[in-house]
Chains A and B, each alone.
Chain A
Amino acid sequence: MQQEVVLALLAKEPSQGYQLRARLNDALGPLGEALNAGQIYVVLGRLEKTGLVSLEGVTGTRDGERKVYALTPSGQERVSEWLAEVTWPKPDLAEFHLKLIAAAAAGLADPIGIVDAQRRELLRRLRDVQRAELEEPDGSDAALLLEGIVLRLQADLRWLEACEANWTTRRRKQ
């Protein structure tokens, strides 16, 4: 769980932990269900330690105390910086690429077999995500996120097909 995400969720108004979680679930849809429930509080705790979040107050209810968290000024600053950043989470192509070369060089495994296996896996994932997307109502936030994941997987699959073609040609030439 990215710290900056939690910070940004707090930017709207001071909230309690469970409220943040609810907002996350709404945004992530089925992916949100995979989230560990307790993760949020861990992150909040860390953020409090680094001074980006402060404990606003404690509301008392019949069920017990609930902490209310809010952004500190430096927290707000951090959020602004984060919103302006343009780095894109990097997929790990280099590792897979090296995996294939190493396997071929050392004769440990058939690179094409590795590619096929990876392809199989990605296709299965694609199927699952796409299925989830289709079940979402049109235009929901979650659907949009799922679409993004699908397209990424599709791109990765295309690269894997290119790998397959490339390694097949290499083998033929030998």
Chain B
Amino acid sequence: MGTALLVFRLAIRDVRRHVAQAALLVVAIAAAAATLTMALALNGVTSQQPYAATRAAAKGPDVVAYLTSASQAKSLIHASGVASSSGPYPVASAVIRFHGRIADVFAEGRSPAPVAVDQPLLTAGDWVRPDGVVIERTFADALGVSVGDEVSVGGRSFVVAGIAVTAAQAPYPNLCNGTLLGPDAMESRFSNACPPSFKIPTLSLSGHRELSSSDDVGLIWTTESDAIGLTSPADPLTTYALNLKLTPPVDAQAFAYEHFQSNPLAVATWEGIASEDGLLVRDGQGVLQPGALLLALLAIASVAVLVGRRLSEYARRVGLLKAVGGTPSLVAVVFLVENLVLALFAALVGLMAGWLASPLVVKPGAALVGSAGAPAISVTTVAEVVGLAIVVSLAATLVPAIRAARGSTVAALNDIGRPPRRRGTLIRISTKLPIPALYGLRLVARRPRRALLNGANIAVTVTGIVAVLAFHAYADDKLSGASALTAGGLSNPVINRDEQMLTVITVMILTLAVLNALFTTWAMVLDARRSSALMRALGARARQVSSGLVLAQVLSALPGAILGVPLGFGLFTAAVHGGTLPPVSWLVAAVLGTLVAMAGLTIVPATMGTRQPVTEVLQAEAA
């Protein structure tokens, strides 16, 4: 018990003396923890099956059929296996305008009275009335409308009567929807993540060619007469929607196959719609999970760097512990415990941050009922996040701790730190180089482990950057040039959210990487103080010495930066299953930019180091 208390007190005292480093450690691990929390929350959202909740609340159909005339409905309504139905409802295509934004819409004409199948659930306002439209919730978000706003549909003015969610259609924007099609009915699927059972209504776009993006079609509900009123001889009514509920046991696929074998695009099953909902979420996960992994790796690297310097100081403090009856193994235990406690604290911070931020992430499942607000954090999530923090902490501290524990007390007291390594060949090669290169190369050669750590840091950073670039290239490709804004000026919520998450993760990665780099360069400059002073004493110029320091950093970072490119792209394709390599110029810019940033970060401590008078340094080091 006494030992435990002692360990605890020593650990606390240690943290108090190195608050900055402890804070950094917490930040690094918390970032990774927060990202993981968000990823798991998103996961939780799908596993909570909110689609099922929506389906129940909005009386979702088992099958939705898109017919070209109302008369086709009769045979389906009376087909075997059909329990109930609603419709056929006329579906007109029109253009909606609101505050300068334009989008294509499908306007489904409905009766004001509620029906038994597919009664969209109002989340705000009232149901349809003459001159009053109800807008699907995700689309309403993208358009930026709220109840009571005036919109123009098909040239006519309407008021937004309400906002609702439905289980009969996947929410805006339709990721799988590529079939929107001009009169030539060209299919243009762009994501092969679509489940094979999903079918898309064959509706023709209104003739407005300026709206180039084919999936920016929103869903609104109007009264039947209003819907018909939106058609014109030039733009006739060609589609009717029929919602069917089947008798149990419900096999929507079989029903769809039986009746629509020849025209598979005319029917949608509830499983298909559900999986498209899921796609939105999985799409988000595709960003978060790799992001969490990258951050975890960076966190390990950060902790390793932070901890590496401190271990030699620990060794020196063994003398103090000896007075208390301690040994090197006690030192190691204090060390491990301290870092573990900090990691746990960081896990808590990350959990909270991730929980608070998760609505941001979960939002474009806004069509899904019960997903507004922060989702509950399950026990498994907490366990997994804490587990991550522990793994990160141990990964970085276990090896040094074991080494410290095994070390002899005498050696620790005399602070026989690891002597620099000798690489005869590299030294010989360096003699043929100009002085900065000679010095830089020798610096890398004498501490290969640190060079490796540096390279690993940079590799992780560049991996993150390349993955982000690959996403941008992919997104650009996907929206054929348009970014987060559709041609009509609407914000594409999925891309938006994805980009938001990406931005946040990229910022976190970059911040951690910069902090990491700063610490590494600072550690390196400090470690090289004596040899830098000696070089100057022997006649090297301060500029040559600081250039050597910069070169050493860049040299150790270079392999990592280059490695980060294939790793980053690999990570992206693994997450998204597809995608093209970003343009070479971007990749080169990423690599060069990182190296230049590294060089820049080294210049300041390097120059400051070479300002100190030689004799001061040499006397301090000799003492």
Direct contact of A and B (CB under 8 A): no
Q: Footprint of A on B, CB under 8 Å?
A: none
Q: Footprint of B on A, CB under 8 Å?
A: none
